Amino acid sequence: MQWFREWESFVKGKDNEPPGPIDNSKICVMKGGHIQLKQGADYGQISEETWQYLLGIYGGGPEIAVRQTVAPADPDSLHGERKIEAETRAL
């Protein structure tokens, strides 16, 4: 979220310098030829449209697509348990 915080400061007028290119390298790792989120990474999710808009202006990456799926209800499992999967798309 570091880049986003810098961008937010810029658009709110707290900083006169725009942020540089989007840098997701600090929140991802390469495993098995795929980019994955680092466990415990500080990140936020934005829509595909917002990503494309910001990427078009600032450039950078890599893109990390996060897909959330809710596990089917199982009486023996914890309520609200979620599985988060990450995948990447070529830029």
31-45 pLDDT, tens digit each: 888 888 898 999 888
Could you list the residue range(s) of the whole structural domain that residue 64 is in? 2-87
Which residues face 1 on adjacent strands? none
Q: In sequence order, what DSSP letters do the residues of 20-61 get, joined into one string?
A: -SEE-GGGEEEETTEEEEPTT-------HHHHHHHHHHH-EE
pLDDT of residue 59: 96
15: tokens are 């900083």
Rounded to whole angstroms, how far apart are CA atoms 55 and 75? 43
pTM flag (> 0.85): no
pLDDT lower than 70: segments of the chain: 68-91
Instruction: State how many domains the chain has.
Output: 1
